[in-house]
Amino acid sequence: MGEAIAAHRDGRLDAAEALYGKVLQRQSGHPDALHFLGVLCHQRKRSEDGIRLVRLALRATPRHADAHNNLGNIHKECGELAEAEACYRRALSHQPGHHDALSNLALVLDVQGRVDEAGEVYARFLAQEPQLGQAHYLMGMFRRRHVNEIEDVEEAARCFANACRLDPQNVRARDALGVALYMLGRSSEAVEVYRDWMARDPGNPVPRHMLAACGGEPAPARAADDYVRKVFDGFAASFDEMLLKNLHYRAPQVLVAALVDRLGIPQASLDVLDAGCGTGLCGPLIGPHARNLVGVDLSGGMLEKARQRGDYDELVEAELAGWLQTRPSAWDVVLSADTLNYFGDLLPVLSAAGNALREGGWLAFTLEVLDGDEDRVELSASGRYRHSRACIERVLEDAGFSDPSITVDSLRKELGKPVRGWVVLVQKRGTGD
């Protein structure tokens, strides 16, 4: 068992599976071997086997809180939230202070929209573990997700500050603290948070980018590749954050609905590029129009999630603007949901998109709204850029596009408020048009 667990921890899954198998040959009901082999099967996308094995383990050791919690995790990651909730509650009935079961229970309640119950569980976790940075961090994130008034942001900032004090290694808490301080108008404190983080971890692109977002350094022309990879690989690796991030997220739906109005009846006849495809949320929406659907993204972690969905003919790990330049006249549609807001200067990427489209092809993208009549772009505290309408119109013209349709819709909720976005559609005109 020791060797099997060590192999499992190191990610040597073939070896671990073989060793658990050997243990079970000698003792078919070995509860730990059944339990861990179940977790491993789920990791290898054999979740039904995983659930069956952990249940067998629990028959032998029905009071094993870790096994109930892990069974809950498998259900949660299969989208079976009610089953997951029941497992976490069973874990807590046997071990009321089980950290993971408490935070997992709060999460599945939150994702099911049972916000008050989720808040009670986060509060219970915090009351039980006041010295645990993670308990403060999770409470802060909960407050931030459900902001109603400015006091909630202040409370979230207090939670993040406690989390950083109790656990200086918690980089997510540091990031969240910087954003909350900036939101509260305490930008010099936010700058301090990012400078301190940079001093502790000089190679990390996140504090570098966020320092610029808080006005502590000049903004780069676009988010650096290493920043984008780090942030999105991190999201993709954390299933829970993905779940929560997508709670009020609707850029793919809004963008594709506007686009398909122009495309007419789906005939599976178009070559479509999903530019910055992320986990592939646009794939199933645009799929009926596509004869060939390709996704491109910088983040290998996000692409892996898109691959698992199975909607794309091809997925490419590359920087968007550079890659588009190498594909002249290849696409009938280039769509990009919530991705060009990682570009401050839009000209290189929109020119490349113009080059990559065929005559008559459609370019469709979202950006975040910067109010005002002037031609302006701003890197905001979220780490994303916001563009004014005049800026988008000018860059589209410089990139060779004319007559864009630019409408406003809500793309997501942040700090309790809708984030307004531009939904931009423009067609590449032929030389005779």
CA 61/CA 34 separation, integer angstroms: 11
Q: Per CB under 6 A, does 342 bind ligand SAM?
A: yes
Among 102, 190, 320, 419, interactor with ligand SAM by CB under 6 A: 320
- On the CB side of 185, CA atoms within 13 Å amount to 1
Is the Cβ of residue 172 or residue 412 nearer to ligand SAM in the bound state? 412
Q: By CB under 6 A, is residue 427 in contact with ligand SAM?
A: no
Residues 126, 181: Cα–Cα separation, whole Å: 22
Q: Rounded to an integer, what distance in angstroms lies between the CA atom of residue 193 and that of residue 10? A: 34
Distance separating the N- and C-terminal Cα atoms of the chain: 71
- C-alpha 413/C-alpha 185 separation (Å) is 19
Q: Between 206 and 225, how does the x/- string for binding to ligand SAM read (CB under 6 A)?
A: -----------------x--
Helices and strands, number each (H, E), in the chain: 21, 9
CB contact at 8 A, 161 and 177: yes
- For ligand SAM, the binding residue among 228, 270, 293, 352 (CB under 6 A) is 228
Regarding 286 and contact with ligand SAM (CB under 6 A), the answer is no
Residue 64 vs 384, nearer CB to ligand SAM: 384
| Count of CB atoms situated within 10 Å of the CB of 418 | 13
Q: Does 251 bind ligand SAM (CB under 6 A)?
A: yes
Q: Where does this chain touch ligand SAM (CB under 6 A) — which range of 57-65, 72-80, 111-119, 297-305?
A: 297-305
273 part of the interface to ligand SAM, by CB under 6 A: no
Q: How far apart are CA 300 and CA 278, in angstroms?
A: 9
Q: How far is the CB of 274 from ligand SAM (least distance, A)?
A: 7
Closest CB 90 distance from ligand SAM, rounded Å: 34
Nearer of residues 216 and 276 to ligand SAM, judged by Cβ: 276
Nearer to ligand SAM, 68 or 250 (CB): 250
d(CA 178, CA 157): 8
User: Residue 211 or 302: which CB sits closer to ligand SAM?
Assistant: 302
Query: Of 135, 90, 86, 140, whose CA–CA distance to 109 is shortest?
Result: 86
Which phi-psi region, left, alpha or beta, contains residue 180 (left: φ > 0; alpha: ψ -120 to 50)?
A: alpha
Distances 430 to 149, 228, 358, 361, 433 between C-alpha atoms, Å: 51, 34, 9, 9, 5
Q: By the 8 A CB rule, do 111 and 247 touch?
A: yes
Instruction: Choose one: 67-75, 136-144, 272-280, 421-429; the region binding ligand SAM (CB under 6 A).
Output: 272-280
Contact call for residue 281 and ligand SAM (CB under 6 A): yes
CA 337 – CA 306 distance, rounded (Å): 14
The one segment of 127-135, 141-149, 166-174, 335-343 that binds ligand SAM by CB under 6 A:
335-343
Q: What is the spatial distance between Cα 301 and Cα 246, in angstroms, rounded to a whole number? A: 16
315 binding ligand SAM? (CB under 6 A): no
Q: How many CB atoms lie within 10 A of CB 97?
A: 12
**Does 298 participate in binding ligand SAM (rule CB under 6 A)?**
yes
Which lies closer to ligand SAM via its Cβ, residue 40 or residue 320?
A: 320
From candidates 69, 339, 382, 388, binder to ligand SAM by CB under 6 A? 339
Q: Is 311 in the site for ligand SAM (CB under 6 A)?
A: no
Out of 278, 348, 354, 421, point to the residue binding ligand SAM (CB under 6 A).
278
297 binds ligand SAM (CB under 6 A): yes
Q: Toward ligand SAM, which CB reaches closer, 100 or 345?
A: 345
The yes or no reply on residue 91 touching ligand SAM (CB under 6 A) is: no
CB of 414 to ligand SAM, least distance (A): 12
Q: Based on the shown chain and the rule CB under 6 A, indicate whether residue 344 belongs to the binding site for ligand SAM.
A: no
Burial (CB < 10 A; 0-12, 13-18, 19+), residue 408, is: exposed
Name which position in 70, 104, 299, 351 contacts ligand SAM (CB under 6 A). Answer: 299
Please tell me the distance from the alpha carbon of residue 347 to that of residue 391, in angstroms, as a whole number: 10
Contact residues for ligand SAM, defined by CB under 6 A:
223, 228, 232, 251-252, 276-279, 281-282, 297-299, 302, 319-320, 337-339, 342
